[in-house]
Structure 1
Amino acid sequence: MQTDQLKQEIIQYAKQIGIDKIGFASADIFGELKERLKRQQELSYQSGFEKGSLEERTEPQRLLPEAQSIISIAIAYPSRMKNAPKSTKEERRGLFARASWGIDYHVVLRERLEKLAAFILEQVPDAVNKVMVDTGELSDRAVAERAGIGFSGKNTSIITPEYGSFVYLGEMITNIPFLPDEPLEDSCGDCRKCMDACPTGALVGDGGQLNAQRCIAFLTQTKDFLPDEFRTKIGNRIYGCDTCQQVCPKNKGIDFHIHPEFEPEHDIAKPKLIPMLQISNREFKEKFGPISGAWRGKKPLQRNALIALGHYKDKTAITEMIEVMNNDPRPVIRGTAAWSLGKIGTEEAFRAIKDAMTKETDEQVCFEMKKGLEFQKQSAVN
């Protein structure tokens, strides 16, 4: 079969199985990306979640020696929650980023790509394919950009003409030499709304470069104590951050509800904060296990929930937070609870921190307790 004909058949089949965009790229070395990644390493901008060596991340033939082409796919997800529950004084809620709404996109995209690979094998029995979604070595964005799925915006997201940046990306390396598609022209122009709106200044340079160490989406996934400067920045975010997408003019009016798998469940996408503090492992897996935001386990999410309650100065949470501060076996959770109790700032909260300090043996937790008590001094001055 001619590759041009096969390409058209693949495009048609992709539509049938729920792939919203598909593009074809060469498997040449990603030279420009390699230089950018080198700079990231030199500047310590990486998150630490990256997989593979610099060569594996930029040279497709390191991953599939027979590589001739890469097929890139995009699937749209919603940007708005229908009938979203309100966070009230009596019942404060946190927020998961849109990319974590519904079923884990890694599962959905991998299933689509594996169907696509099986279809290709039916047409070309000696085809060799390698499927990747987010956790692979290749940069999904670099592949999508080369394949004409969209252009890479200053917010480091791929922006498509149809769906804005609200798309999941995945790819398949193959030994079939498809004719590559044309990349799209960058149309950010002089706009820098995403850079100006980023709460932590994580978008650096002239845009298009991310200091992951300052990105809230990354910080909400870390497991240690959150650095002080970011605690007031994350607000009620439990996982991820959408600010740079929300302010992007290319996303204005964009909201697609094409795939039922990505529709958010209210009590998962905007969970009540207090019940998260002492949720058991079994309850956590049952409730949050199917979403992508659960991949780091419950500890970072509980830490973020404690910070969110401090952000809200939620006095209704004090009893639960004191319980956590006194009895949780994890120092990060005890210490964060103490800091947040200080942030709430009632006499009951300060008294509980002082009592807990007399029994606490962990130095870092004691340090957080002292920081919590600093809020008492600040309120006395004010």
Structure 2
Amino acid sequence: MDVGQLKQEIVAYSKEIGIDKIGFASADVFGELKERLKRQQTLGYQSGFEKGSIEERTEPKRLLPEAQSILSIAIAYPSRMKNAPKGTREERRGIFCRASWGTDYHVILRERLEKLSAFIEEKVPGASTKVMVDTGELSDRAVAERAGIGFSGKNCAIITPEFGSYVYLGELITNIPFIPDSPVEDSCGDCRKCLDACPTGALVQGGQLNAQRCLSFLTQTKGFLADEFRVELGNRVYGCDTCQQVCPKNKQMDFHFHPEAEPQPEAAKPKLKPMLRISNREFKETFGHMAGSWRGKKPIQRNAIIALAHFKDETAVDELVAVMNNDPRPVIRGTAAWTLGKIGTDEAITAIKEAMEKETDDQVLFEMEKGLDFQKNRY
């Protein structure tokens, strides 16, 4: 088997099946990453969404015992929405992050990686492969960095020379000993725009993220959102792009190579008020194709309610009152009460006081008190 020739054929085939960039890395232990993950764990900076132990996330041979190489792939996605709908005073809109605009990227990447796997196994009978996308144990970013896809920026994203950081990443482990590609040189330099722009200070320092403070993570949680984060949420209903938007490496980066990565504008920038009463079936029909739907509708609804507070949307008062009075979920009832207090109309304040008389959940009552406190603090 001529491994060099096979590598060339794989690169050529990857372009045929819609892979924008491919790189080859060794399957050696990710020693530096292992130490970094241990520090993150000690500091309590992990999100809790990570899969596998630190060993599984840094030792490819634990996932494929005969591993020799890892292939990393990148697929560019759009940073600008064509025909983006505009919110109005009567119909405010939320926003999903760019990585969740189109079809779930796990589907997009897995389809291409499985084609790549089949191609390799056809060329090399008996070859072993293991495909992974985001939900796998390995760090997509660490693999991509080692494979020369891009460098790891201060915003903790892989920044490619060709597409900036607007790329989906996935990998394939194999037992074929490919010659590794060279890493890309880090070119953040003295720039710290992402650190300065992060709304919650989640970027502790260049390359270190406290996921517990990251809005992208927080939009996916299901409980009550801490007040300090509600203030910074704006109209985000899923994810956060701030550290990518301010990055100079992303200037003019906007690629529309893949139809399935294109947003459905009404889903990517949804009207907020209809989100309050959406059924499970309607949620799946409207948002089920997007990566941002993976936690279900509860976090998205909670974030939509907070976004209405951001806009101080008086047109939403009646619907928020209905949610506060009737929704069976304490997080949704309580967040609606807090938002009504933020909006602060006489009708909203009266509704909170009336609802308090029959509310039995302590956390919801606490949110109601906070809602009324906004009114007290106005005078």
| Structure 2 gap ranges (5+) | none
| Structure 1 gap ranges (5+) | none
Residues 52-201 of structure 1 aligned to structure 2 (within 5 Å):
52-201=52-201
**2:277 aligned residue:** 278
Q: Please tell me whether residue 29 in structure 1 is matched to residue 29 in structure 2.
A: yes
1:92-126 Cα offsets, whole Å, 9 max, x none, are 00000000011000001001000000000110011
In structure 2, what is the Cα distance between the partners aligned to 1:50 and 1:102?
A: 23
Q: CA deviation at 1:28?
A: 0.2
Q: CA deviation at 1:90?
A: 1.2
**2:202 aligned residue:** 202
SS of the residue corresponding to residue 74 of structure 1 reads strand
Q: Please tell me whether residue 330 in structure 1 is matched to residue 354 in structure 2.
A: no
What is the identity, as a one-letter code, of the residue corresponding to 1:189?
Answer: G
Q: CA deviation at 1:87?
A: 1.3
Q: CA deviation at 1:193?
A: 0.3
In structure 1, what is the Cα distance between the partners aligned to 2:100 and 2:63?
A: 28
In structure 1, what is the Cα distance between the partners aligned to 2:20 and 2:343?
A: 46
How high is the TM-score relative to the length of structure 1? 0.99
In structure 2, what is the Cα distance between the partners aligned to 1:102 and 1:20?
A: 17
In structure 2, what is the Cα distance between the partners aligned to 1:278 and 1:360?
A: 20
**1:359 aligned residue:** 358
Q: Please tell me whether residue 3 in structure 1 is matched to residue 3 in structure 2.
A: yes
**2:316 aligned residue:** 317
In structure 2, what is the Cα distance between the partners aligned to 1:186 and 1:36?
A: 18
What is the identity, as a one-letter code, of the residue corresponding to 1:114?
Answer: E
Identity, in percent, stands at 79
What is the identity, as a one-letter code, of the residue corresponding to 2:295?
Answer: R
Q: Please tell me whether residue 266 in structure 1 is matched to residue 265 in structure 2.
A: yes
What's the Cα RMSD here?
A: 0.4
SS of the residue corresponding to residue 237 of structure 2 reads strand
In structure 1, what is the Cα distance between the partners aligned to 2:253 and 2:87?
A: 24
1:41-90 Cα offsets, whole Å, 9 max, x none, are 01000000000001000000000000000000000000000121111101
Q: CA deviation at 1:141?
A: 0.1
SS of the residue corresponding to residue 168 of structure 1 reads strand
What is the identity, as a one-letter code, of the residue corresponding to 1:375?
Answer: F
In structure 2, what is the Cα distance between the partners aligned to 1:337 and 1:125?
A: 59
Q: CA deviation at 1:225?
A: 0.1
Tell me which stretches of 4 or more aligned residues in structure 1 moved more than 6 Å.
none
What is the identity, as a one-letter code, of the residue corresponding to 1:219?
Answer: L
What is the identity, as a one-letter code, of the residue corresponding to 1:241?
Answer: C
In structure 2, what is the Cα distance between the partners aligned to 1:266 and 1:99?
A: 14
SS of the residue corresponding to residue 108 of structure 1 reads helix
1:311-360 Cα offsets, whole Å, 9 max, x none, are 10000100000000000000000000000000001010000000000000
SS of the residue corresponding to residue 131 of structure 2 reads strand
What is the identity, as a one-letter code, of the residue corresponding to 1:364?
Answer: Q
Q: CA deviation at 1:293?
A: 0.1
**2:220 aligned residue:** 221
In structure 2, what is the Cα distance between the partners aligned to 1:158 and 1:127?
A: 29
In structure 2, what is the Cα distance between the partners aligned to 1:187 and 1:92?
A: 39
How many equivalent residue pairs? 379
SS of the residue corresponding to residue 186 of structure 1 reads coil
SS of the residue corresponding to residue 232 of structure 1 reads helix
1:104-152 Cα offsets, whole Å, 9 max, x none, are 0000100100000000011001100000000000000000000000000
In structure 2, what is the Cα distance between the partners aligned to 1:153 and 1:111?
A: 28
SS of the residue corresponding to residue 233 of structure 1 reads helix
What is the identity, as a one-letter code, of the residue corresponding to 1:10?
Answer: I
What is the identity, as a one-letter code, of the residue corresponding to 1:56?
Answer: E
In structure 2, what is the Cα distance between the partners aligned to 1:152 and 1:87?
A: 35
In structure 1, what is the Cα distance between the partners aligned to 2:263 and 2:88?
A: 20
In structure 2, what is the Cα distance between the partners aligned to 1:108 and 1:246?
A: 23
In structure 1, what is the Cα distance between the partners aligned to 2:94 and 2:126?
A: 50
**2:300 aligned residue:** 301
Q: CA deviation at 1:200?
A: 0.3
In structure 2, what is the Cα distance between the partners aligned to 1:9 and 1:101?
A: 32
In structure 2, what is the Cα distance between the partners aligned to 1:372 and 1:316?
A: 18
What is the identity, as a one-letter code, of the residue corresponding to 1:222?
Answer: T
1:165-218 Cα offsets, whole Å, 9 max, x none, are 00000000000000000001100000000000000000013x101000000000
What is the identity, as a one-letter code, of the residue corresponding to 2:232?
Answer: K
In structure 2, what is the Cα distance between the partners aligned to 1:135 and 1:82?
A: 29
Q: CA deviation at 1:14?
A: 0.2
What is the identity, as a one-letter code, of the residue corresponding to 1:358?
Answer: E
